[in-house]
Amino acid sequence: MAATAFLWSLAGLFIKVIDAHPLTIAGFRSLIAGAVILLCLRRPRFHGSFPQIAAAVANAATMLLFVAANKTTTSANAIILQYVGPIFTAFIGAVLLKERVRIEHITALFFVAGGMAAMFMDKLGGGAMPGNVLAVLSGLAFSFYFVFMRMQKDGSPLESILLAHWLTAAVGLTATLFVPAPHVTLKSVGAIVVLGSVQVGVAAILFAVAIKRISAVTANLIAVIEPVFNPVWVFLALGEVPGPKAVVGGVIIIAAVLLQEGRLAQWAGRAIRTETDKAFVYCYDRRLTRTSYGKRLMQGLPPFTVVRHDAQGREVV
- Phi, psi at 129, each rounded to 5°: -55, -45
Confidence of residue 35 (pLDDT cuts 50, 70, 90): very high
Q: Per-residue pLDDT for 127 more than 90?
A: no
Q: Where are the alpha helices (DSSP H) in the chain?
A: 2-8, 11-15, 22-41, 50-72, 75-82, 85-96, 103-120, 129-150, 158-176, 186-194, 203-210, 216-223, 226-238, 244-259, 263-271, 287-290, 292-299
Mark whether 117 and 13 lie in a shared domain: yes
State percent of the chain over pLDDT 70.
Answer: 67
| Domain region containing 256 | 2-261
pLDDT averaged over the chain? 79
Last residue of one domain, picked from the residues 244, 261, 278: 261
Give pTM, 2 decimals.
0.75
Calculate mean pLDDT across residues 182-208: 93
Q: Examine the domain organization and report whether 127 and 24 are in the same domain.
A: yes
Structure confidence at residue 60 as a pLDDT band (50, 70, 90): very high
What mean pLDDT is predicted for residues 57-85?
76
Q: Does residue 265 carry a pLDDT above 60?
A: no
- Residue 190 predicted with pLDDT over 90: yes
Residues 6+ apart with CB under 8 A from 5: 222, 223, 224, 225, 226, 229
Give the domain-ending residue among 261, 277, 293: 261
- In a 13 Å sphere around the CA of 110, the CA atoms on its Cβ side amount to 4
- If asked whether residues 205 and 312 sit together in one domain, one would say no
Rounded to whole angstroms, how far apart are CA atoms 196 and 28? 7
User: pLDDT at residue 38 above 70?
Assistant: yes
User: What per-residue confidence (pLDDT) applies to 91?
Assistant: 85
Question: What's the total number of domains in the chain?
Answer: 2
Q: How far apart are CA 113 and CA 121, in angstroms?
A: 11
